[in-house]
Amino acid sequence: MVDVPRELVQHLGRLLAAERRARGTRTGTRALTCFYQALMVLVWFRKAEDVALLAAGFGVSRATAYHYRDEGIAVLAAQAQDLHTALRRVADDGWSHVILDGKLFDCDRLTETTLSVKGEVIDAWYSGKHRDFGANIQAVMRPEGLPIWTSEALPGHLHDTRCARTLGITAALNWSAADLDLPTLADSGYESAGHGIKTPIKQPAKGSRLAPDNRAYNRLLRGLRWQGERGFAILIGRWTTLRHTTASPRQIGDIVAAALHLTHVEYKYLPQSC
C-alpha cells in the first residue's frame, strides 16, 4: 500500500504511455505495464525505498528498476513550466507577490573539487553554511507557500545569490516586477539582486538602531515572507526521497522538478492541457 491517490498513478501512467509511444516501444516488450511502472516510481518518491528492494517487490531486475525510475523522473520533470510562464500564471491569478528561497538538498559525499574565491581547493558540493554535502536548489513560491517553480541543481558551495544570477532567476524576477507588477520577497541572502527583489534592510554599522520606518518595513517583510518556508516543507514532507539522495547530485534538480509536478497534480494546480 502507498498513500497516493489512484488518479496520480494514472496520471503518471499516461505520461509513461506517451513516452513509450514516442520511442516506438512495441506492446508487450516491457517487464511492467505503464500503471505498475508508475506505481513503482511513486513508491520510490513517497517512501524512499531502496531500488533493489523495489526491483524484488515488482519482480524486475535491479538494472530495470533503475531504468524505470529514471524514466519516470524524466517524464515528470519534462512537465515543468519555465519560470516566465509560471510567473505569468501567478500574476494572472491575481496574487500580489512571489517568494524566492534556496535550499541545500542533502546528498552523499563527493570527491569533486573546485577553487574557492580565495584560490583554495575545496569540495564543490560541500556547503560551509550548512556543513553538509548537497545541491543548491532555488524555488519560487506563491504567497501562501505553494512552490510554482524549482531550478536545476548547482554545487552546494555556491551562495544563493550567485545561483540565482547564474540561472537567470534574478533577471526573470526583475522582469516580473517591472512588466507584471509582481515583486519578489526574499531573505537577506539575496541583497542587491535587483529592484524587483525585496530584501530586509540590514542593521547599520557601529551598533546603531534601524530607523522606525525601516524596522516596520522589515517586520512587514518577515510577516509576508515566512510562508515561503512552507514551499520546501511541502515537497520534502510529502516526498521522502528528497530528504537524502544517493544519486548524482546533478540529478537532484530533475528529481525535485518531478516532485514539484506530482505536488501540482495533488493540489490540482495544472494547466488545462494536462
Report pLDDT digits (tens) over 130-165. 889 999 999 999 999 999 999 999 999 999 999 999
Render the burial of 27-45: b for 16+ CB within 10 Å, e for the rest: eeebebebbbbbbbbbbbb
Q: Answer yes or no: is pLDDT of 166 > 90.
A: yes
**Residue 272: band (very low, low, confident or very high) from pLDDT cuts 50, 70, 90:** low
What's the CA gap between 101 and 227, in Å, rounded?
Answer: 11
Residue 190 DSSP label: G
CA distances from 67 to 221, 243, 254, 265 (A): 45, 21, 15, 23
Q: Which three cell numbers stand for residue 125?
A: 558540493
Structural domain boundaries in the chain: 6-77, 83-248
Q: Answer yes or no: is pLDDT of 273 > 60.
A: no
Q: Answer yes or no: is pLDDT of 34 > 50.
A: yes
The model carries a pTM of: 0.92
229-238 and 252-266 helices, crossing angle to 10°: 90
Q: Which three cell numbers stand for residue 106?
A: 542533502
**Residue 192: band (very low, low, confident or very high) from pLDDT cuts 50, 70, 90:** confident
> Percent of the chain beyond pLDDT 90?
73
What's the CA gap between 140 and 77, in Å, rounded?
Answer: 16
Q: Answer yes or no: is pLDDT of 18 > 50.
A: yes
With contact defined as beta carbons under 8 Å apart, do 108 and 133 qualify? yes
Cβ-in-10-Å burial (0-12, 13-18, 19+) of 261 comes to buried
Quick: pLDDT tens for 102-140: 999 999 888 888 888 788 888 888 988 888 999 999 999
Query: Which region among 10-24, 79-93, 114-128 has the lowest average model confidence (pLDDT)?
Result: 114-128
With contact defined as beta carbons under 8 Å apart, do 136 and 102 qualify? yes
What's the CA gap between 218 and 205, in Å, rounded?
Answer: 17
**Residue 209: band (very low, low, confident or very high) from pLDDT cuts 50, 70, 90:** confident
Q: Answer yes or no: is pLDDT of 53 > 70.
A: yes
What's the CA gap between 79 and 72, in Å, rounded?
Answer: 11
Q: Which three cell numbers stand for residue 207?
A: 551598533
> Percent of the chain beyond pLDDT 70?
99
**Residue 204: band (very low, low, confident or very high) from pLDDT cuts 50, 70, 90:** confident
Rounded mean pLDDT of 255-262?
97
At residue 34, the 3 state secondary structure works out as: helix
The more confidently predicted of residues 191 and 148 is 148
Q: Which pLDDT score, from 0 to 100, does residue 202 have? A: 87
Render the burial of 129-154: b for 16+ CB within 10 Å, e for the rest: eeeebbbbbbbbbbbebbbbbbbbbb
Locate cell 546528498: which residue? 107
**Residue 271: band (very low, low, confident or very high) from pLDDT cuts 50, 70, 90:** confident
